[in-house]
Amino acid sequence: MKITHKTFLIILISCSLFAQEQIRIASYNVERYPANNNAGADLKKVLKAISPTILLTVELDGKDAVHQLLGNTLDSRYKASTEVNITWGTGNECAVFYLDSVVTYLGSSMISADTRPIGEFRFVTKSTKDTFSVFGVHLKAYPEETARRLNAVNSLRNRTIKLKPTDNYMVVGDFNIFTSTEPGFQRLLDQSSSGYFIDILNINGSWNSNPAFAAASTYSPTSLRTRLDMILISETLKDGLGMEYISDSFKIFGNDDGKHYGTAVNNSSKGTNYWFEQDASLGTSLINASDHLPVFADFILSVKTEVKEPQKLPTDFNLSQNYPNPFNPETTIRYSLPTAGYVTLKIYDLLGRETKTLVSEFKQAGSYNSQFSILNSQLAAGVYFYQLKVGNFAATKKMVVLK
């Protein structure tokens, strides 16, 4: 089908943004920011590409680090947990930055732990009133420090065990854990008591210098060799009690499924890193910004309202605004079907030319997510449209691709 210029004019006039239904939470060890003097412009470029709703930073250095990162690196849409007193070494090194238009920050508290405090940052979403806590950690480094990491995890579990069974929570940051068998990691996952966490990747074994786990490596951009940075979630986030983790949305920005294991992420001799196909300089920016790669995950809001309540079928056809928007390199499109039917979901450019078919199949009634990535494509930055068709129903919305 060809969309005419007249149709596009109507779409452009009538198209409006719907309330955001998803949020992106990212964690980034920013290597003693701002002591890393090369981080400014490069860090700004990386964070713009990720476009998080909430960013938890690790390894901030000094009482003014939060204000500097907020003022020099993030755009004016963000606010920060400026009440947190940042201290390098054995003090707190975590802070959060967030889109005030999407979430309300409820405040923070610090959990005393060996050797650094663990931050608890609390939020509520403005559109759906989902509440959740983000625990920020920077556990003691080096393989021989297993006892200290276990001590810190026990301090965290002493807090999470007091949460309600319906509470949403996650722990993110630099765990400095090198194997799934480490006691501290096993304690995080221990389901013998409440307040446990779930490993999104669910990978078992020794992650350090092991090519079998290359796709999970977050350290470092110059030599991908081990998994240190993670996002672990509560059972409620996995099963969708209100706020729900979107399956397979966890990403390590700069790790191209382990193809650059043991070398720099911008090493062209190992092939083009698919994260940087639209902008090769992003690889160099990652190297200059930090000795870690950032990680992020996406969550959909208020999918279910009560535990064990059967999910109700949609009452109307609906095509939601993609999120994030604008985006680079990936975005999610959500749509709902009150009845079964043959579904097509296609991307068009401004001239009405079809550039990508995301869905073309028969689907049962229900709600669906479709991921759209500009990786491995020739799409330029600019405005595009996505159109859902099911029987006589058709809806079109606008999206913006960033470089």
| Tens digit of pLDDT at every position of the chain (403 positions) | 444 544 444 444 333 333 447 999 999 999 999 987 556 899 999 999 999 999 999 999 988 899 999 998 999 999 999 998 898 888 999 999 999 999 999 999 999 999 999 999 999 999 899 999 999 999 999 989 999 999 999 999 999 999 998 999 999 999 999 999 999 999 999 999 999 999 999 999 999 999 999 999 999 999 999 999 999 999 999 987 679 999 999 999 999 999 999 999 999 999 889 898 878 899 999 999 999 999 999 999 875 444 445 567 889 999 999 999 998 999 999 999 998 888 999 999 999 999 999 998 888 888 999 999 988 788 899 999 999 999 889 999 999 999 7
Name the amino acid, one letter, at 68.
Answer: Q
Q: Give dist(CA 272, CA 254) in Å, integer.
A: 11
Q: What is the pLDDT of residue 39?
A: 65
Question: Is 22-300 in the same CATH topology as 5-17+312-401?
Answer: no
Using a 10 angstrom Cβ sphere, with 0-12 exposed, 13-18 middle and 19 or more buried, the burial of residue 259 is middle
3.30.565.10, 2.60.40.1930, 3.10.110.10, 3.40.47.10: CATH of 5-17+312-401: 2.60.40.1930
Adjacent-strand bridge partners of 103 = 125
3-state per-residue secondary structure call for the chain: CCCCHHHHHHHHHHCCCCCCCEEEEEEEEEEEECCCCCHHHHHHHHHHHHCCCEEEEEEECCCCHHHHHHHHCCCCCEEECCCCCCCCCCCCCCEEEEECCCEEEEEEEEECCCCCCEEEEEEEECCCCCEEEEEEEECCCCHHHHHHHHHHHHHHHHHHCCCCCCCEEEEEEECCCCECCCHHHHHHHCCCCCCCCEECCCCCCECCCCHHHHHHCCECCCCECECCEEEEECHHHHHCCCCEECCCCCEECCCCCCCCECCCCCCHHHCCCHHHCCCCHHHHHHHHHCCCCCEEEEEECCCCCCCCCCCCCCCCCEECCCECCCECCEEEEEEEECCCEEEEEEEECCCCCEEEEEEEEEECCEEEEEEEECCCCCCCCEEEEEEEEECCEEEEEEEEECC
Q: What is the pLDDT of residue 232?
A: 98
Q: What is the pLDDT of residue 311?
A: 60
**Residue ranges of the domains in the chain?**
5-17+312-401, 22-300
Residue range 22-300, CATH number: 3.60.10.10
Q: What is the pLDDT of residue 38?
A: 55
Q: Which two tokens stand for residue 154?
A: 């026990």
> Is residue 397 within a helix (H) or strand (E), and if so which, with residue range?
strand 393-401
Q: What is the pLDDT of residue 13?
A: 35
Q: What is the pLDDT of residue 56?
A: 98
